[in-house]
Amino acid sequence: MTVKMKRMAFLAVLLMALCMAASALAWKPCQVPHVYEDWKTLREPTCTREGYQRMNCINCNHWEWRNIPKLPHTQGEWTIENEPTCTKRGSKTTNCTVCGTLIRHFIDMVPHEYGEATVTVEPTCTKSGKSEQVCTGCGKVSRKTLDKLGHDYVVDEVTKEPTCTAKGKANATCSRCGSSKTVTLDMLPHEYGEWTILREPKGEKMGRRENVCAVCGKTVREDFFPDGTLYQGMDKCPEVTALQEKLVELGYYDGGTSAGLFGPSTAYGVRRFQKDYGLEQSGVAYPETLEKLEEVWSEKQQ
């Protein structure tokens, strides 16, 4: 072989090798869908630059790429740059402990500091007043309206005395401004005395009584039982509940007790109790019945 032929053969082998290497390296599209490995972080992010990650397909040499956002700066000790006032925001600064970047935050304004209120216009009975306060920081003035006081009438002369049938009249004068007017005086209550019995209560029938006003003669009449009597129709009454609870314990009643309602079955229980203890069988719990019931119930407790 000549030198020239040797060189030709060497070049051919080199070309073939290059072609094989090129075809092995060339990107071939995946015939099946890409199947990726997990994301691999190739560069961690810091507070000054983004990081990135890569994920490779296990079937071909395709890969996906994504950025990782920058990390926030790490705040160090804060230094007040400008104190806030009632008219201007303040500011404070710090340096990132990692990269040294200067960080500045604003500080909210502080509220005005108002001193004592000064009354500039005194309010009167009929006119409103004014007051003002000054901020010790910036001198801003805050003004307020003071409500008018209204008259303070005091009765100084009764011109017509009130009775239990008619209103009275009087002159009244304002203690502040001296303005006067006529005022009406409320009627007085009737002056009732002792009740007069027209008919005594008997059994389950209420009695009747009347009362007369000593001044005007107005008469009121009403039905009544003696004070403390419990009778049918009473409702939401704690004394009725107490009566029923005693009747239950002694076996004269088995109905409800919580409502404090005196119904027919309570009256029936009272009547049976009255029969057993020689009292008039009215079904009305007169004071004598209640006394006897208390006595019998107390004995049972011992």
Binding positions for Zn ion, rule: CB under 5 A: 30, 34, 47, 57, 59-60, 62, 73, 86, 96, 98-99, 101, 112, 125, 135, 137-138, 140, 151, 164, 174, 176-177, 179, 190, 213, 215-216, 218
Choice between 120 and 179, CB closer to Zn ion: 179
Nearest approach, Cβ of 177 to Zn ion (angstroms)?
A: 3
Q: Strand, helix or coil at 27? A: coil
What phi and psi, each to the nearest 5 degrees, are found at residue 204? -90, 5
Nearest approach, Cβ of 80 to Zn ion (angstroms)?
A: 19
Choice between 73 and 246, CB closer to Zn ion: 73
CB within 8 A of 270, min separation 6: which ones? 243, 247, 252, 282, 283, 284, 285, 289
Choice between 46 and 298, CB closer to Zn ion: 46
Choice between 7 and 40, CB closer to Zn ion: 40
d(CA 213, CA 191) in angstroms, rounded, equals: 5
d(CA 59, CA 216) in angstroms, rounded, equals: 117
State the burial class of residue 83 (Cβ atoms within 10 Å of its Cβ: 0-12, 13-18, 19+).
Answer: exposed
Strands (E), 96-250: 102-107, 118-121, 129-134, 141-146, 153-160, 168-174, 180-185, 196-199, 207-212, 219-224
d(CA 135, CA 242) in angstroms, rounded, equals: 68
User: What angle do the packed helices 287-301 and 264-276 form, to 10 degrees?
Assistant: 70
Nearest approach, Cβ of 136 to Zn ion (angstroms)?
A: 7
Coarse DSSP helix, strand, coil percentages of the chain, rounded to the nearest 5 percent: 20, 30, 45
d(CA 59, CA 300) in angstroms, rounded, equals: 99
Nearest approach, Cβ of 4 to Zn ion (angstroms)?
A: 47
- Of 273, 293, 297, nearest to 283 by C-alpha is 273
Choice between 30 and 279, CB closer to Zn ion: 30
Beta strands 168-174 and 180-185 are antiparallel
Choice between 29 and 278, CB closer to Zn ion: 29
Choice between 111 and 238, CB closer to Zn ion: 111
Nearest approach, Cβ of 283 to Zn ion (angstroms)?
A: 38
Element (H, E) at 1: none
Nearest approach, Cβ of 143 to Zn ion (angstroms)?
A: 15
Nearest approach, Cβ of 202 to Zn ion (angstroms)?
A: 31
Choice between 71 and 248, CB closer to Zn ion: 71
Nearest approach, Cβ of 214 to Zn ion (angstroms)?
A: 8
